[in-house]
Structure 1
Amino acid sequence: MRYELTKDLETGNATIDREHRELFDAVNKLMDACGSGKGRASLEPTMKFLLEYVNKHFSHEEALQKQSGYPGYQYHRTFHENYKEKLRDIANAIPAAGPTVSDLGKLNAHIAVLVSHIRTEDKKLGAFLQK
Structure 2
Amino acid sequence: MAYKWSDDLLTGNKQIDTEHKELLNAINNLLDACSVGKGRTEVESTVKFLTSYTKTHFSHEEALQRKYNYPDYNNHKKEHTQFIETIEDIQRKLLSNGPSVILVGEVNSKVASWVIRHIKKEDVKVAKHIRENSK
Do the two structures share a fold, i.e. TM-score over 0.5?
A: yes
TM-score by length of 2: 0.87
User: Within 2, Cα distance between the matches of 1:51 and 1:95?
Assistant: 14
The 5-angstrom pairing of residues 1-12 of structure 1 reads 1-12=1-12
User: Within 1, Cα distance between the matches of 2:78 and 2:95?
Assistant: 28
The CA deviation string for residues 87-118 of structure 1, in whole angstroms up to 9 with x for no partner, is: 21121122445222112221221221121111
Match of 2:79 in 1: 79
Which letter does structure 2 place at the counterpart of 1:130?
A: R
Higher fraction of helix:
2
Residue 54 of structure 1, CA deviation: 1.0
Match of 2:120 in 1: 119
SS at match of 1:94: helix
Seen in structure 2, the aligned counterparts of structure 1 residues 105 and 41 have a Cα distance that, compared at 3 Å, is farther
Match of 1:25 in 2: 25
Moved more, 55-64 or 79-88: 79-88
Asked if the contact 1:30–1:39 (Cα under 8 Å) also holds between the matched residues in 2, the reply is: no
Match of 1:102 in 2: 102
User: Within 1, Cα distance between the matches of 2:97 and 2:4?
Assistant: 32
Asked if the contact 2:44–2:94 (Cα under 8 Å) also holds between the matched residues in 1, the reply is: no
Structure 1 portions without partners, runs of 5+: none
Moved more, 107-116 or 70-79: 107-116
TM-score by length of 1: 0.89
Q: CA RMSD in A?
A: 1.8
Seen in structure 2, the aligned counterparts of structure 1 residues 36 and 99 have a Cα distance that, compared at 3 Å, is closer
SS at match of 2:65: helix
